[in-house]
Amino acid sequence: MIRRKSKNETRRRLRLWGELEIWQQEDNHYIETGYRAASGSLIECLHSWSYVHNETVNVYTHLLGAAIFLALPSFIFKKEIPARYAIATQADVAVCSIYFLGVAICFCLSATYHTVMNHSQKMGVFGAQLDFQGVILLMWGATVPLLYYGFYCDFALQRTYSTLLSVLAVTCSMSTFQPRFCDPYLRPVRAATFGSLAIFTMVPVVHGIYKYGWDIQSQRMGVVWVVITLVLNVSGATAYAFKMPERWCRRRFDILGASHQIFHLMVVLAALTYTQGILQAFDFVHEYDHTCGLQSIG
């Protein structure tokens, strides 16, 4: 007969910060409890989905987020009269699919990293590299519909910005595979790498508003939703960067409420918010596609 492990055995499976391998102590020393021991086993890593530890929330927020974004298109494109799927062009389907799949893949890679990070040092680094690829894919994929709808009337600008975006994304992607890119002391370099890509995504927004005016472009780019998305992402990133609130209340937020968990939640909320911006752009373009010759609408 198979005996179920008791709660005490589950607790013994977890470690304090000081009991970890040296390579596991490179992240957040303000989190003191709830760590999984180095396992060297993918089976053990996956088994950790069945009990609570300090990465549980990080894993499940993004697993749930991935499921939401895989299911979301079938719901939102059936809304409105006529249904969005009935009027969507092949280009609409392509740019929206890139976004939804990009978000889902990003969240899956993130959940994978937080699942296997205690396997071994080598696997932890590889998982982090996959996580970085997911972030880049999300940022690239989110900008594709922004460019398509924002420059709906100017294919040349669409193509120019799309090319520049793709080149920058590939460059960022390649840099993440440099041997020491994941080192803790290179966090400023990582921040600069991802920050450069994030800043670039704002350039077309400003350019579009300057070229076409606020009235049209705020609709074609869902600018208000983009700004809310930015606020959510920056709020989450700030909490993570400054390790708030765990740096002030040791052990209170080790399992639930830590900065990385807040960051994950904010990213999911930001992605959902950005979806509203894409839908606003979709609806506007299909209702007012005759406005290409205008600079503003009444």
Please give the annotated binding residues for Zn(2+), written as ranges. Answer: 114, 260, 264
Q: Any idea of the CA torsion for 72, 272, 192, 256, to the nearest 10 degrees?
A: -100
Residue in 151, 256, 161 with CA at minimum distance from that of residue 200? 161
Sequence ranges of the binding site: 114, 260, 264
From the list 90, 141, 136, 86, the residue with the least C-alpha distance to 278 is 141
Residue count (the chain): 298
